[in-house]
Amino acid sequence: MTAARHAVPASTAATLVMGILNVTPDSFSDGGRFAGTDAAIAHAHRMVANGADMVDVGGESTRPGAQRVEPAEELQRVLPVVRALAQDGIKVSIDTMRASTAEACVVAGATLVNDVSGGLADRDMGAVVAATNVNYIAMHWRAHSTTMDAQDRYEDVLREVRDEIAARVESLVAAGVSADRIIVDPGLGFSKVSDTNWPLLARLNEWSGGHRVLIGASRKRFLGTVIARPGIDAADPARRDHATTAVTALAAQAGAWAVRVHDARASSDAVRVVSAWQNAFDATR
């Protein structure tokens, strides 16, 4: 955690900022910009300087329609970056659906595994997380990127996401993962194209089961749907940064454990404003 973050008053448990580091050629927003090891490491340091509390390193795009990469290719992309950042004292999360990649990166210094499949893509994930005793983010997930949009079928999105996350948590605990190590993520944009995302943001406590919550809304297309208007190219992910910052502020107010974002500075500023506001409210009531 940077010095600036320590300035947040201790009376408020501030939402953490997770910076997104895509070491990929094809991620939806910044694919290719940080595909090289040196560029990735430099960008991670910039995010931390701008307020990120941790950096989430991923070597496989999960954008809609993305094809999977081979395990060796994924590991080759992320392992040198994870190792270097951990050695530099940066808190690192590994964004992977593969148990073998997670295990290698934890050995290299990652302290958190961010699995968008919640353990469904690799049945060995629970055992690896249990053995390494790291924190684990279980995201709501129904299908791989090539077919996930077709799974946006809900009669009651709050109830179904709640039940499907609860089933994943139960399975992980049965595999030996400590329940207090599990963080849950509603999987915004994953099998949720547009309107089905908003109830999950509006009612965090109704699906989270008392677990810590990660919100990953950054630059996603459902934000573009809301902000689209004449003169605004909402199809450009970079034009969705202001909307992302609004989500960060609302998620922080709702008590989210962390937000996963591309623009660490804007979200860090938003979290600090929410903390100052809440502290003033608590002091004067």
Q: Are 8 and 277 in contact (CB under 8 A)?
A: no
Residue 81 in tokens: 């970056």
From the list 260, 265, 272, 285, the catalytic residue is 260
Long-range contacts of 63-70 (CB under 8 A, 24+ apart): 63/26, 63/27, 63/28, 63/31, 63/145, 64/28, 64/145, 64/148, 64/149, 64/189, 64/221, 65/145, 65/146, 66/26, 66/145, 66/146, 67/145, 67/146, 68/144
Q: Is 2 helix (H, G, I), strand (E, B) or coil?
A: coil
Decide if 83 is catalytic.
Answer: no
From the list 212, 220, 240, 272, the catalytic residue is 220
CA max distance for the chain: 56
Q: Are 94 and 57 in contact (CB under 8 A)?
A: yes
Pairwise CA distance, residues 149 & 91, whole Å: 32
Decide if 220 is catalytic.
Answer: yes
In sequence order, which ranges of the chain are alpha helices (DSSP H)?
3-6, 37-49, 71-87, 99-108, 125-132, 157-174, 198-202, 221-227, 241-253, 264-284
Catalytic residues: 220, 260
